[in-house]
Structure 1
Amino acid sequence: MDATGTETPTLVPGPRTGPGVAREALAQNVRRHRLARGWSLRELGAATGISKGLLSQIERAEANPTLEILTRLADVLATTCTDLLRRPLLRPEIVRAAALPEEPGETSVDLLFAQGELGRAEFYRSRLHPHAQSQVSSHGTDSVEYVMVVSGRVVLVVDGERYVLEQGDTARFSGLSSHHYETEESTAVTHTVVGYPRD
């Protein structure tokens, strides 16, 4: 957090990938699903036929389970292997326009976010006048909101933490979080996509 009280965002110049990321995602997701059911590691082990020791290693991101183990976990936890390996959005991720590379040629394409969490999606264009505040929103469990600032400058407020987004900046965050947008001295235009889990 800086001197103005604005939270320093997670900067994402490109998609973060690799086995370590997958292990961390699996650890967080298995633990989240297990605790949501009120199960201990022993109870999850009894339901899946996986040893308590291996489950403990998985939840500490210290194991590389086989596809068979992943499938057993997904079946018992009523989810999919893909969802178990999806990295949860614990805080907003922001791609700064200034951090994107300048490519030679007439056109360029930048991959901003690589995770495929969209099942059903809604697309919005918003115009906020100076000193405006949008309605406080929350879109439900497992939803994800993406926003790009087309013009102007906005302050994204997520669970009380403030993130300043300049023109061209893009952010992604959990749609379950309580959030809204504010403007300061100038009008701003944003494009927003709200993605919901697949049915």
Structure 2
Amino acid sequence: MQGQSPKPALPCRNLRPDIEPRVGALTDDLPKRRCESLRVAIGNEVRNWRLKRGWRLEELARAAGLSMGAVSRIENGTVSTSLTTLRALSWALGVPISSLLRRSEQQYEAVFKKAGQPIGLRNCPTPAETLGDIEVLSSGIKVEPYLVRLIEQEAHFPTFRHSGMKFLYMLEGAIRYSHGEDHYDLGPGDSLLFEASVLHGPRKLLRGPALYLSIISARP
């Protein structure tokens, strides 16, 4: 109506005030996470090349003109590496700088197995079906998943000892599994996580046939 001042506009309200800060936080943190991944990838390459040469940490440090602490921090991915330092490390190791950056630039692929798809058999003492080796390059960890079937009791099941960690998840049946001096009875839904450098393996088939998932995680 004429002669009346317009009503003030209603103030805008953010119906979800929690959304914007979260999105901003994730966006701001993305470069930091990528930088950390790059440091870890370079560190793993430096360590891998050093081990291929059969060198101790101090030997690489001396050859590159760096302190042991500096090389240790680089290999552990806790510090960013300058181009000058990368050049010194590559010269000491006898490899081009690109070799130290290779894993940071590599694209990773997933390993997908469709239900019912044939699974390759791994030549090992127990009937184990490999689900595919996955090397997580950004962290230098190799993951080996297996499906293990135990159909009948054997006089002596094989035992294992290797580097890394192992995770077991029982799917069917029941077994007794040993880890060092300890024994564990596993049924469907039970799991076991342990250091694989300790002697371990199935000891007894309690209820067969048994099927369990075995995942080995270790540095290659």
In which range does the TM-score fall when normalised by the shorter chain?
A: 0.3 to 0.5
Q: Normalising by structure 2, report the TM-score.
A: 0.37
* TM superposition score normalised by structure 1: 0.40
Comparing both chains, which one has the higher relative contact order based on Cα–Cα distances under 8 Å and sequence gaps of 6 or more? 1
- Greater helix percent: which structure? 2
